[in-house]
A and B are shown apart, each in its own frame.
Chain A
Amino acid sequence: MESSQSLPKPLAPTLRIIGATAITAARNKIMGMGPLFYVMVWSSLPLFLLMSVMLIYRDDTELRNYALVGGAGVSLLFSMLYGAGEILDSERQRGTLGNLFVSPGPRYAWLAGFQIFNLLEAAFSGMVALVTGSLLFGIQLDVNPLSLLVSLLLFIASLWGFSMIAGAIGVAIRNANQLSNLLFSPILMVAGAMYPVDRMPEWLRIPARCLPFSYGMDALVASVTTGASLASLGHDFLPLAGFAIVLPVLGIAAFNRLERMSKRTGSLELMS
């Protein structure tokens, strides 16, 4: 097993693992809940949270526009953070997490598969929030597709890395879902999903600027509501690009460390 880990992995099998894991995760989740129930659950939080915030911001167009896109951003945060934790916890509860870890495929491949499904899920609930919010509150969007694409790529890479780190810690402490629960509220507070960073209180801007979320949200909002160009978003893209490189590397390192630890202690499938 150890020797196979050190061999260079061809891309095709890795991609197959990613694809198969994504499909399995989708089937498990959607068919497990039933399609209707699944749609209700995953669109509820962003949609109703968005409606709450939009009602509070009813008299301020700029804030309403911000909150609308921020609502879609919440979907992204929610899916990426909870998706990994929930799936890993489910695997552990089913007694299959150990099998995943001792399988010869790279850990980040199956985790990436889970995350791709989470991304599609986030895209769906984000779109629901965006379209419903636009229709209900009559908001006109001004989208710059290139800026939006770059914003999404960098933001998703950062979130993927972050969720890998959180997932590794969650599995190590044998409660990934609870860890996501613990992290979600403070992240939501500093993420700039419900208010722009420059209107946050001073004490909150410091942690907000140390994390990738606010840069990603800022870039997303600007590229969707004001049609901001790539050049004008440089102040967001630069730090976000840094996070998009560093966090996935740290995430993969965290999972490798978790793998070594779990092989040494054999405690991966203990329930508490």
Chain B
Amino acid sequence: MQPVLLANRHGLALNWGVFHGTIRAMMLRWASNTIQLVRGPIYPLLALITYRIIYDISGQTTIDQSHVMGFLVTGILATQAWQATVWGAGSALQNEMWSGTIGSVLMAPGSSTAVILGHTFGNFLMSAPSLLIAFIAGQLFGATYDFSHPLAIVVALATVYLSCVCVGLCFSGLFILSRNANAFANFLQEPIHLLGGFFISRTLFPDWIQRISDIIPLAHAVEALRKTVLEGAPLSGISRDLLAAAITSSIFAVIGAWSLARLDRAVRRTGTLDLL
């Protein structure tokens, strides 16, 4: 009873503690896994090189008037943001399930959203070295960046990450209920890479794929980021993309918040969450 009272009186502080504690636990777990430590920075670099080879072989040096490497580096940034959100939350929840602790995590007085956001932001922090390496590699291989509008870049970057959080939030309920969060994250990865236009210009899509792609907030956020980082567009030049990202993100976020609230009630009622 006491923890519930505590949650009511100091909900924000409690959830901040849960959020902070989740990030710390993730960091410690990550630091103890040598393979993850090695793989983290290598993966985006290899993806960057692989796509560069594919474009070189096909004879394309520019995509949407931008240098291939610049286009790909921003795509890598988007993949890292996406992985941090969906993979981070998905794998983390699955691990809790395997460890038999998912029930405790969700039954605890802190909000499950704080736990999921903790996993998400922990993953953002852990992806920082990968992004730095991809950025440097991009520059070494010919990417040119335009930092003339730093505010627009910061806003676009924040939009990419927020879009990921909203999409991740939307799917997190399904992750838990499906009891296959890892597999579900696996399933989502490549479609999102394609539909988000991470490595391919969305202008190449057939109409029907284009329409599906328009629903994904990340696609608009990544386009905004590319316009400002690669073409030097000011905030006004990316406002349409930001608006589209904001609208679609809001829809995903509302669905996510609704489904998580329902999930909280459902798992407390049925008590079947730890079943494998």
Contacts and interface: CB of A to CB of B under 8 A. Distances in A.
Nearest to A45: B190
A7 interface: no
Interface of A: 32-33, 37, 40-41, 44-45, 47-49, 51-53, 55-60, 63, 93, 173, 175, 178-179, 181-182, 185-186, 188-189, 194-195, 199-201, 204, 272
Contacts of B39: 178, 181-182
Interface in B27-41: 32-33, 35-36, 38-39
A40 B190 CA distance: 12
21 contacts: A32-B276, A33-B180, A33-B183, A40-B187, A41-B184, A41-B186, A41-B187, A44-B188, A47-B190, A48-B191, A52-B200, A55-B204, A56-B60, A58-B204, A182-B35, A182-B38, A185-B47, A189-B50, A194-B54, A195-B53, A204-B53
Contacts of B205: 55
Given A44-B187, A48-B193, A49-B190, A181 B58 contact: no
Interface in B188-217: 188-191, 193-194, 199-200, 204-205
A175 to B, nearest CB: 6
B8 interface: no
Contacts of B42: 182, 185-186
A57 B184 CA distance: 29
Contacts, number: 93
Interface of B is mostly: helix
Interface in B56-91: 56-60
Interface in B113-139: none
Given A48-B190, A55-B200, A185-B42, A200 B35 contact: no
B147 interface: no
Contacts of A181: 35, 39
B82 to A, nearest CB: 13
Contacts of A93: 98
| Chain A to chain B: the 3 pairs with minimum beta-carbon distance, closest first | A48-B190, A185-B46, A178-B35
